[in-house]
Each structure stands twice: as structure tokens, then as C-alpha cells.
Structure 1
Amino acid sequence: MTEKTASESLTIMTELVLPNDTNVFGNLMGGRLMYWMDIAAALAAQKHSNAPVVTASVDNISFENPIKLGNVVHIQAKVTRAFTSSMEVHMKVWGEDLKKQHKYKSNEAYYTFVALDDDNRPRPVNGLVPETDEEKRLFEGALRRRQLRLILGGKMKPDDAQELKALFTNR
């Protein structure tokens, strides 16, 4: 497999918040935003792996600021690290009030995707080479986030999570 840069997977998606996308408070519904985020993240993972992908996990999504009816949603998705068949994708989400020309952060999240072969089985993915300082920081933290996901999903014993343990013990 070849290696790709994080920037090669960059996907930017823009949506307009319409009445059907909002709750009774006139805010974008969280479920609708998660749906759009899933699409943007899947596109980034497919660009990286050159294969169809499925969502394996969604990390905690905390909403910092609501996005109002009539505002624009900008989602930036980029692969942060590739493992054997899975990829972590980091997303940043902003809202934008076009009338006031004001852009504001809504939230960030990590999604994990698995690349599939023609028989819908996990297949190997390209390695990832981070270039910028932010990409390197996200790349370094990805292994710890992955271990936490595996523990929470019952697929790894806490004692086996060496990267996480290192955070709490002296090396």
C-alpha cells in the first residue's frame, strides 16, 4: 500500500439550514448535523482508501454553539490516521450567519471508518503521512483515541492499552 497525506483526504461540505432541518427552537437538529458529518467523513475516508467505507464508530459530539435556521453549515473532514483497515476522521464544524457575516465554531468530532473490499470485508488502507503541526498532533493522539474506543467497545482490555496507560504513569 502507498502512503497519502492528510490533505489528500480533505473534504469540505456546505449546507444551508432550512426549516425542515430545525427543532422547535429554530436550531439545526443534532441528528441532521450528525448525518451531514457522516457523509463528509465518509467522503474523506473514501478519498484516502480508494474504497467504499462503513462507519465503525462515532466519538462524543459536544455542541458548543447552535446553528440557526437560515445559517450555513461548513464541515471540514480529514483523515488523521490510518490503521490496518480503519481510518480515523477528524471534523470541524462551523456555522455562518451570512447577513451578519459572522462565522462561529459549532463543534468537533472524530468518526472511524472501515474500508471494504468487493466482498464487503475489511481491506487494508493506505498509510497516512501528517505534514502540518496540527496534522502531526492529531496523528499522535489517534492511537490513544483508538485504544479508548476499543476499550469502550469491549474489544480491548484496559491493561493492553499501552498508549493510554502511558498518560497516567511515568515512562
Structure 2
Amino acid sequence: MEAKKARESFTVKNSHVLPPDTNSHGTLFGGKLMAYIDDIAAIAAVRHCRQPVVTASIDSVDFLHPVFEGHAICLEAFVTWTHNTSMEVFVKAITEDLLSGDRKVCTTAFVSMVAVNEENKPVPIPAVYPETDQEKRLHAGASARHDQRKERRKESKELAEVYGTGLPW
């Protein structure tokens, strides 16, 4: 399988933040932004591997700036690193006051996606290679982030075993 350039998966999504998308503070629901992140990461991942994908994890999402009603939200994503069947997708979300033009990065996130076949079994994917300095920086730290995700997943499984499906009382 031939490796692909990171920029081949680059994806952009814009949305106007409307009243149904906002909470009582007039800002975008955090869950709505997380749904946008998952959606754009999936598109970038499919562009990379040309296979169906599923979300394996989303690293922490820190809300750096509020996204107000009437503003625009622009998300950019691309595949930064690949493993055998999984890939890391970097997502950056930018809020824009459409009247003033003021723009701020409101969050960044790393999303792990896994390519699957018709039986939802993981399938091999092409490697990715960075070209720009920004792509190289993200690629260089990806293996360590992958190891952190594996450890976090192990801890999550342990918690699931300890707490199970029963009620706590």
C-alpha cells in the first residue's frame, strides 16, 4: 500500500451557529462542537484510507474560547499519523465573529479512527507522511499520544469491570 501525504486528507467544515445550537448562555453546546469534531475527523480519515471508519477515541477537548450565537465555526482536520488499522486525526476549531472578522481557535483535539470492512473488522490502511513543519511536529508526537491512549483505554476497561452495569446502590 502506498503512503499518502497528510494534506490529501485535509478537510474543512463551516457552520453558522444558530439559536437551536446554543445553550442558555448563548454559546454553542459543547456536545454539538464535539459532534462536529467527530464528523470532520471521520471525513478526513475516510479520505485517507478510502474505507469506512469508526471512532476509537477522542482525546481531551478543552474549550478555549466560547462560540457565540451568530458566529461561524470552522473546523479543519487531517490525518497526522497511522498505525496498522488506526489513524490519528488532528482537528482544529476556529470561531469567527462574522461582523468584526475576529477569529480565535476555540479548541483542538486528536481523534483516533479505525478503518473497518463490511463485517466491521479492522483493515490495514496506508501510512501517512508529513510535509510541512506543522505536519511534522504533529507526526513526531503521535506515537507518544498513541501510547497514552492505550494506557487510558486500559484504565477505562478496568473501571468498566469494577463498576459494571449494576446500579451503585
Q: Scaled by the length of structure 1, what TM-score is found?
A: 0.89
Which runs of 5 or more residues in structure 1 are unaligned? 156-171
- The answer for unaligned runs of 5 or more in structure 2 is 156-169
User: What SS class does the counterpart of residue 154 from structure 2 fall into?
Assistant: coil
| C-alpha distance in structure 2 between counterparts of 1:24 and 1:149, whole Å | 34
Q: CA deviation at 1:101?
A: 1.4
Moved over 2 A (4+): none
Q: State the partner residue of 1:98.
A: 98
Q: Write out per-residue CA displacement over residues 48-81 of structure 1, whole angstroms, 9 at most, x where no aligned residue.
A: 0110000000100001100000100000001000
- The amino acid of 2:125's aligned partner reads V
Q: How does 1:13-52 map to 2 (within 5 A)?
A: 13-52=13-52
Letter in 1 for 2:65: N
Shift of 1:118: 2.1
CA distance in 2, matches of 1:15, 1:2: 34
Q: Distance in 2 between the 1:111 and 1:25 partners?
A: 28
CA RMSD of aligned residues (A): 0.9
CA distance in 2, matches of 1:123, 1:7: 22
Rounded to whole Å, the distance in 2 between the matches of 1:101 and 1:127 is: 38
Match of 1:63 in 2: 63
Q: Percent identity?
A: 41
Give the count of matched residue pairs. Answer: 155
Partner SS state of residue 73, structure 2: strand
The whole-number CA distance in structure 2 between the counterparts of 1:137 and 1:24 is 38
Q: Which residue of 2 aligns with 1:89?
A: 89
What's 2:117 paired with? 117
Q: Distance between the aligned counterparts of 1:146 and 1:101, measured in 2?
A: 36
Distance apart, 1:117 and its partner CA:
1.2
Rounded to whole Å, the distance in 1 between the matches of 2:143 and 2:37 is: 22
Residue in structure 2 matched with residue 138 of structure 1 by the alignment: 138
Instruction: Tell me the residue number matched to 2:73.
Output: 73
